[in-house]
Structure 1
Amino acid sequence: MSIIRLVHPLFQARPPVLVLQRGLKKKAKIPITLLKDVPRIGQAGAVVHVHKAHMRHELFPKRLADYVIERKGPLDRSRAAAETVPDQASAQASQQEKVRSLALRNQDIIDRVVKLEPIVFERSVVAAEPAAEEGPQAIYGSVTKADVLRELAEVHGILIDKESLTMDDKIKSVGEYRCVVKLIYAGQASFKAIVVPSSSGAE
């Protein structure tokens, strides 16, 4: 004779229940770097794990420790180096091209200066006193570096800055003067600036 047992529903087996304990997150430890020796934790420079709350309320405010910033993902040093080398090579090639372009431009200017005929400026001369000794005739005004640069640009199409031109700051008498153009990567060349009395004669 078989016996049938009736089990009350309250006593039936139940699936296990996952119980979440509060405070586990608060007890989690984080890596920190000790800035000073801390008793029972470690010496300065050591990387240790402590509770977040202890770090936040005690160690960090007192500058006893600092947070460790964890890098996400593997550090591929070889890849970083490989990416840096092409960038450096590209920058170097670009710089070399700029130097080459500037050298060609400046050499062209120097070649044109070498072939320049003397640049002539007409100026009114100051009448000399009868008893004055003979010498260079003084002119009204002067011939300046700006005048020479303007003549080079407008008449000969040669564009240079004032630092590249060497001459007397102000030419104040009739005569012949040497002007020198000096450019980086191309050397230097000279030409003549001549000041003559204007056709109107002395004033």
Structure 2
Amino acid sequence: MSFFARSVPRARRCGLPVAQRGLKRSSRIRVTLLADVPRVGAAGAEVLVDRAHMRHELFPKRQAEYVIAYRGPLDRTRREAEAAAEAETASRAQADAQQRTHSLALRNQEALGRIVALEPLVFERKVVPSEHSAGAPGGAQAIYGSLTRADVARELAEKHGISVDKEALGMAEDKIKSTGDYVCTVKLMYAGQAALRVRVVPAADEA
């Protein structure tokens, strides 16, 4: 056997320990937290944790995900594609929001136009006998109960098919408590405001 043949196995045996020297695997790994974890970090944070803790605790409970190391052009392309997809989603969401706002503005403008064209809304109420209605202004008569914004909104919806939240109605007083003519203010988002005339009259059996 030649000297060269005897030397090759020895070189192979000696080379392995040298190549593996200093390659001890780290016990910690970088992860991204998907939820707040006490004594580890807040959701979204990128932290170092023990490999075993990640493998047996955080990952099975979906509290964290592994951080994928950069692997060159392919990884960069993937990240760029993800960023482009996120930007497209955000742009689409913004466009949808603008479309909803535009649609709401058109509906509210139409509603205000119909309200302006309405005749006064007439409400019949039972009146308090004259000797007990000293609190009513002028020739008005005090009524039992009152007329509220909810009553006006209900009348608009049921009699005229105009849906308005009671919070959009403004009255000089919170409640109307006597007969007479009144003006309510209707304010609708993206459309402005309009005057709505309201009339309270004695019930038919008392007129």
- TM-score tier, shorter chain, comes to 0.5 to 0.7
- Residue 23 of structure 1 and its aligned partner are, at CA, apart by 11
| CA–CA distance in structure 2, aligned partners of residues 70 and 98 of structure 1 | 39
1:83 partner amino acid: A
- Counting only pairs closer than 5 Å after superposition, residues 39-188 of structure 1 correspond to structure 2 as 71-74=69-72, 75-76=76-77, 78-129=80-131, 135-167=139-171, 168-188=173-193
Q: Secondary structure at the residue paired with 1:194?
A: strand
- Residue 94 of structure 1 and its aligned partner are, at CA, apart by 1.2
| CA–CA distance in structure 2, aligned partners of residues 87 and 161 of structure 1 | 33
| CA–CA distance in structure 2, aligned partners of residues 72 and 160 of structure 1 | 56
| CA–CA distance in structure 2, aligned partners of residues 159 and 197 of structure 1 | 27
Q: Secondary structure at the residue paired with 1:149?
A: helix
Structure holding more helix per residue: 2
Paired residues in the alignment total 156
* TM-score normalised by the chain length of structure 2: 0.62
- Residue 144 of structure 1 and its aligned partner are, at CA, apart by 1.1
- Residue 159 of structure 1 and its aligned partner are, at CA, apart by 0.7
In our comparison, the structure showing a higher alpha carbon Rg is 1
| CA–CA distance in structure 1, aligned partners of residues 158 and 85 of structure 2 | 49
Residue by residue over 1:146-198, the C-alpha shift from the partner in whole angstroms, topping out at 9 and shown as x without a partner, is 11111111000111111111113211111111011111111111111101111
Q: Which consecutive residues of structure 2, in runs of 5 or more, have no partner in the other structure?
A: 29-49, 52-66
Q: Secondary structure at the residue paired with 2:204?
A: coil
C-alpha distance 139-85 of structure 1, shift in aligned 2 (>3 A): same
Q: Which consecutive residues of structure 1, in runs of 5 or more, have no partner in the other structure?
A: 1-6, 8-12, 33-54, 57-68
- Residue 73 of structure 1 and its aligned partner are, at CA, apart by 2.3
Residue 40 (structure 2) aligns with: none
C-alpha distance 23-152 of structure 1, shift in aligned 2 (>3 A): farther
Q: Secondary structure at the residue paired with 1:92?
A: helix
C-alpha distance 197-26 of structure 1, shift in aligned 2 (>3 A): farther
- Residue 24 of structure 1 and its aligned partner are, at CA, apart by 7.7
Residue 199 (structure 1) aligns with: 204
| RMSD of aligned residue pairs (Cα, Å) | 3.6
Residue by residue over 1:54-93, the C-alpha shift from the partner in whole angstroms, topping out at 9 and shown as x without a partner, is x99xxxxxxxxxxxx6614233465454334322321221
C-alpha distance 16-25 of structure 1, shift in aligned 2 (>3 A): closer
